[in-house]
Structure 1
Amino acid sequence: MRGINDLRTILINNSYPISIKNQIQVNGINISTVCSPISGGFQCTCEEEYRFSCDQCLMYGSCDNITVDTCGCLNAIPPDGQYCQLVYQNNFTACPTTTPPPPTISTAPPLLYEFLVSIELNTTDVTVINKLRAILRNISYPVSINNHIQLSDINITTVCSPISGGFQCTCEEEYRFSCDQCLMYGSCDNITVDTCGCLNVIPPDGQYCQSVYQNNSTTVFSMAANKTDPRATTANVTNSKLVVTTVMNTTTAATTAVTSKGHKAVVA
């Protein structure tokens, strides 16, 4: 490598043109290509202002980027003896154009996620519960929130009302408390088919009445198997306290919870 650097110095310091006899004159001498041994072969690198043509870069493999239809390094000694060429004196052949394949368009339908959202509402006006029932009955479902989220149904599940010294929580139609809740917190009606419809307390674990169609465990609910799931949303009320449960279909994996002052609601 030292010999190459010495040669560069000599050529740079030469005065040109150089006359050889009366008929020959050398106007300039430059190094164009330096090929150095690497493991298992050679690597040829162009000097400044010299480049390999694109067809050579593709045929022998470039060891740098191909830019402006040329490269500055090959992973081989060109077997045809065609070394780096001066960029000012050669119109390098353009690289062949390649047409990228068209993008693959997926025909698979988007993933659909289903969430059961519970909203808990607190109100001091019991008429609010009846008004909410009327509003929910008159809504046409599904309700589209945006292009990705759709509400399939919204229902009241549980109403908790104040009684002397506490609260009493009653399930709405087609909603029940599980047997373990009835035994743990005390039912205010009979336990039938492993469920009850009323508790003498607001469940401290936040587990309000559940749809009889969406819970079929024999230890919790034992309902007729020939009923179909209405896929409803639910809500509960206390103070009166109201709990609402909603079935939400969405192509975006997300969960939403809402609490409004004066009314407490949970959407599941």
Structure 2
Amino acid sequence: MVVEVNASETAVISNIRSSVNSVVLPFQVDNSVEITAFNISTVCSLNETQYQCKCEGLFVWPNDTCHSYKACDDITDGSCTCINALPIDGQFCQEPISEFTYEYEAEIDVSFLDLFPVELLRNLVTNTSLPLTLNNNTHITDIDMTTVCGLNGREYECKCEEQHFWPSDTCRVYQVCDSIVGGTCGCIQALPSEGSLCQRDINECLFCPSVCGPNSTCTNQLGSYNCSCLDGFTATNPSLLISINNTCRVGKLQLLVSGWIHCNKLKSPHQRQ
């Protein structure tokens, strides 16, 4: 909502400015109305024979307004803060729009009658140098081939590309044409009617080195990872998988040997003979 206030005295404008700055937000008008932002954006005054409109605070005039009316200050980054006019269209100063970078993910299905074009597409994806610039504002930062489906007899078989896997729920919903390892599979005997295609494997061991806890090693697996204790260490709870919540500690055998050496040092020379 925009409210226009006519005041000929600069003191009145100063009072309004002070009142706006002192308002505590959000301001509850009633049970259904709440004011979340309250700003003075523009102040216009008669300068000799013409009006001069100046922007308040961090507000600016849009670029087209600066050019349509003679700007009374510099035009910087496509905007100005003062114009020698009272805009006839009621356009007030606006908050500057920051430049945002948007990321989009697109999934493209490509149909071929034979596998030869599939190999060509696979090589194209593998050999494309990234980022790929389409124009000044659009860049492709990642391109991936995830799934290849083919007609096997009377039904489709969908196989994951290298380093990709089906989510575990997809393996359970559809009959798999390979083994389910680590809760995932690489091939299903179906063309999924919904849901995502094969997913790229994330190397948890690389992106989160502490995933297994101290005194352990991490081995990446498709769709999962495996933790094992270093030599001389065992899991705190041997009945559970090793993880950050079930870490590896010094093994009992090493504790016994250390204790024997310690006790042996306490014996007198006569006792050791």
Which TM-score tier does this pair reach, normalised by the shorter chain? 0.3 to 0.5
TM-score (norm 2): 0.42
Q: Which one has a bigger Cα radius of gyration?
A: 1
Greater fraction of residues in helix = 2
TM-score (norm 1): 0.43
Greater fraction of residues in strand = 1
